[in-house]
Amino acid sequence: MCATCGCDDHSHEQGGGVVIDLEERLLARNDHLAGHIRDWLASIGVRSYNLMSSPGSGKTTLLERTVRELGLPCSVIEGDQETTFDADRIQATGVAAVQVNTGAGCHLDAVMVRKALASLDPAPGSVVFVENVGNLVCPALFDLGETGRVVILSVTEGEDKPLKYPHLVRTGDVVLLNKVDLLPYLDFSQDRFLRALRQVNPHAPLLPVSARTGEGLADWYAWLSR
């Protein structure tokens, strides 16, 4: 009899090993395909950026401005569980966008990105932005063949998020701190945030921005164009 819940079903004490084996196989398969994507994008001179954040951190608003203001040809892959809202917003700027709906899924993977890239057919020398599903956990594990990873946190989420979600935050090649226009109305210390960030990601540039007002975006465009 199960010692804790008192039932005769021992199965909920077991199964961890099978799950871990399967996860490793899935991730290895994803990494393999991501390698192909990376090689192919490099061969045609396309850079791609994987944007990862919580839901509502301002990824799409950032991209609406970026594709208009960056001064380079762009296209966008939008990931969401449901709706085409984000692809519609990008297309309204005149830039090509493909929406990927993950259904119950919690992240984009390399298979989804490969299919979206086949549809987008990005021009040589252009930039592809991949807006991941809003989630500070699961996207961390899935290589999408990107040139760089962009972690976006917003000031409304609090200073402790780098320490609470270290697995994703430490993978960022750049970290944007968004919604700084709201700082006057919040109890948020940029110093405490920076200390928390540096504990998990010592080197990524930190760029305070407001996708709504445009504050700080010149630094973001400079980072993308470096």
Nearest distance in Å: CB 226, a second copy: 29
End-to-end CA distance of the chain: 63
- The least CB distance from residue 20 to a second copy, in Å, is 11
Radius of gyration for the chain, computed over Cα atoms and rounded to the nearest angstrom: 19
Give the residue with the Cβ less far from a second copy, 148 or 166.
Answer: 166
Nearer to a second copy, 141 or 194 (CB): 141
Q: Quick one: 166 or 205, whose CB is closer to a second copy? A: 166
Which residues of the shown chain bind a second copy in the complex (CB under 8 A)?
4-7, 9, 11-12, 15, 18-19, 22, 25-26, 29-30, 32-33, 36-37, 40, 54-56, 80-83, 85, 104-106, 110-111, 114-115, 118, 133-138, 140-141, 154, 156-158, 160-161, 163-167, 179, 181-182, 185-187, 212
Which helix or strand (DSSP H or E) is residue 168 part of?
helix 166-169
Which is it for strands 47-53 and 127-131: parallel, antiparallel or unpaired? parallel
Contact 54, 136 (CB under 8 A): yes
Given the DSSP bridges, would you call strands 206-208 and 74-80 parallel, antiparallel or unpaired?
unpaired
Cβ 132 to a second copy shortest distance, Å: 11
**Beta carbon nearer to a second copy, 6 or 202:** 6
Nearer to a second copy, 95 or 141 (CB): 141
Nearer to a second copy, 54 or 126 (CB): 54
CB of 68 to a second copy, least distance (A): 18
Distance CA 174, CA 151 (A): 6
Any idea which residue has 């991941």 for tokens? 132
State the nearest-atom distance from the C-beta of 40 to a second copy, in Å.
Answer: 8
Extract the runs of DSSP E, i.e. beta strands, from the chain. 47-53, 74-80, 97-101, 127-131, 148-154, 174-178, 206-208
CA distance 92 to 82: 19
Minimum CB–partner distance for residue 9 and a second copy (Å): 6
Q: 184: which 2 tokens? A: 């006057």
